Amino acid sequence: MKRILQHFALGSALLLVVIAGCKVGPNYKRPSINTPATFRRAASDTSLTSGTNSFADLCWWDVYGDPQLKAYISEALTNSWDIKIAAARVLQAEASARITRSQYFPDINVGGDIVNTRFSQRGGDFPLGIKPQSTFGEVFVFSPNYEVDLWGRVRRLNEAALAKLFSAEWAQNTIRQTLVSDVATTYLQLLALDLDLEIARASYISRTNSLDLTVSRQQGGVAAMQDVYQSQVLVFTTEASIADTLRRIEQTENALNILMGRNPGPVKRGISLVQQPLRASVPPGLPSSLLQRRPDIRSSEENLIAANADIGQAKAAYFPQLTLTGTYGFQSVSLASLFAQPSQVWQFGPTVTFPLFTGGRLQAEVKLAKARFQEALATYQRTVQNAFREVSDGLIAYQRTQEFYAKQLELTEANRSATELAHVRYEGGVTSYLEVLYNEQQLFDAELRLAGARRDELLSVVQLYQALGGGWPSVPSTKTAMNHH
């Protein structure tokens, strides 16, 4: 048996050495991409664009300075259902890759049976010289079945399976990156709503005091009843705004809790919106580095690699399939002598199968694989181009939201001055309360828009960081545990 095993292993090794370079189908080559020299920015952005350093090189815990936000992101990365689903998909892809990899090795089975048989002494099939009743034993201790990968079918299968595993890992990083962005965005929106509520409540106090003053003036015969009604309109408008803002706050808290894998409920705040740290500069780096950093691009490319390998697998079906099979064991009608040397049986030999006629199935499978490759190629190219657009949009938003905030701040201050003057004019009897009503409403709206401008300014940093692919290393963990492409 030892000699047979040695012959089988030696023969398999020699065949593998001979056919190692034979692998049908196209080898993968990264498609050419029309990469821009620089990212498009806002026309008013005069900051320097040279250099390879990128804002995305920072880890997320270095980007977000609010300790409460960091805690929420960490919790989401641990407890989010999306993260758990993505992790399960990676485990599935890893198991699938290992199953496919097992085809590199022969299947070796061990088994046996014992059959007790009685022959009819009056039948025509009774063997001469054998007892009417006997026990027949059979044991197979070596039964290999191995496909010799002459044309690279198994290697292409493994190439595709490994690419799908890496794609699943990059997809997991994409979900992590999106989750970080979603938690930061939801948290900042919540802080912006807190600021809206603060503005509305401060306005409510001011307008309530103004209503009391107007009622006193009307009772003293100085103001008309119309002024009281107009003052009440301001108070009721603010009350409605407070109620609506509270609704949005509670719903946003629920959304943040779900991102963290919690049940709906209130959440703690950290640094207020106006005090949130904002980076003075966010260098994007080189557009070419985006292809390596963005996990969605890497995941899409791995799918392209898998589709390319599937073409080779389909083409390999055109060629003969060589399978090595063998058997070694013992057979005996006497259990006592089952393992004696004369009871040994063995056979070994190759089996060749050639597809003579398949009704067009093989041609259709190759055509199908090529069509799927074209789809994966278009998806990859679209993903890359969309990534360039998202970075450009992020850079433009970062510049323009700062400009908008500065102008909105000037507008709010002008509205505040106009409102103060309207009160003075009304109390001096120069104008009607309608002017106060108009300016109060304008100031309230301007303050809300200013809070929204600050929110959008912060969110532009979050969106740009995500667009640049920041947050994680560029190599999936399983590349250290499994073979490379």
Q: What is the sign of the dihedral through the CA atoms of 8, 9, 12 and 17?
A: negative
* 323 against 87, higher pLDDT: 87
> Which amino acid type is present at position 37?
A
55-81 pLDDT, tens digit per residue, is: 888 888 888 989 999 999 999 999 999
Domains parsed from the chain with CATH numbers: 1-25+107-148+323-354 (2.20.200.10), 31-104+152-318+359-480 (1.20.1600.10)
pLDDT digits (tens, 9 = 90+) for 310-361: 999 999 989 988 888 878 777 776 666 777 777 777 777 788 888 888 899 9
For position 472, what pLDDT does the model report?
62
Interatomic CA distance for residues 475 and 256, integer angstroms: 30
Higher pLDDT, 405 or 482: 405
For residue range 252-273, list pLDDT tens digits in order. 999 999 999 999 999 999 999 9
Instruction: Give the residue ranges of DSSP H helices in 20-80.
Output: 60-63, 67-79
What pLDDT was estimated at residue 121?
61
Query: Which of 76-80, 117-121, 380-384, 429-433 is predicted least confidently?
Result: 117-121
| Six token digits for residue 94 | 């890893």
pLDDT at 127: 57
Residue 132: HSE in the Cβ half-sphere, 13 Å Cα cutoff: 5
Alpha helices in 428-474 (DSSP H): 433-467
What is the separation of C-alpha 450 from the centre of its chain, rounded to a whole number of angstroms? 34
Q: How far apart are CA 58 and CA 472, in angstroms?
A: 9
pLDDT at 466 over 80: yes
- Separation between Cα atoms, residue 330 and residue 67, nearest integer Å: 72
- pLDDT band, very low/low/confident/very high, at 140 (cuts 50, 70, 90): low
Question: In sequence order, what E strands does 333-475 have?
Answer: 344-353
As a whole number, mean pLDDT of residues 419-429 equals 89
Q: How confident is the model at residue 480 (pLDDT cuts 50, 70, 90)?
A: very low
Phi, psi of 288 (to 5 degrees): -65, -30
How crowded is residue 423: how many other Cβ atoms within 10 Å of its Cβ? Answer: 18
Distance CA 429, CA 4 (A): 115
Q: How many CB atoms lie within 10 A of CB 298?
A: 24
Alpha-carbon distance 365 to 356, whole Å?
16
DSSP state of 263: P
Q: Region 288-315: what's the mean pLDDT?
A: 93
The pTM of the full predicted model, rounded to 2 decimals, is 0.83
Q: How confident is the model at residue 118 (pLDDT cuts 50, 70, 90)?
A: low
Residues 88 and 69: their CA atoms lie apart, in Å, by: 26
Instruction: Report the C-alpha gap between 235 and 215 in whole angstroms.
Output: 13
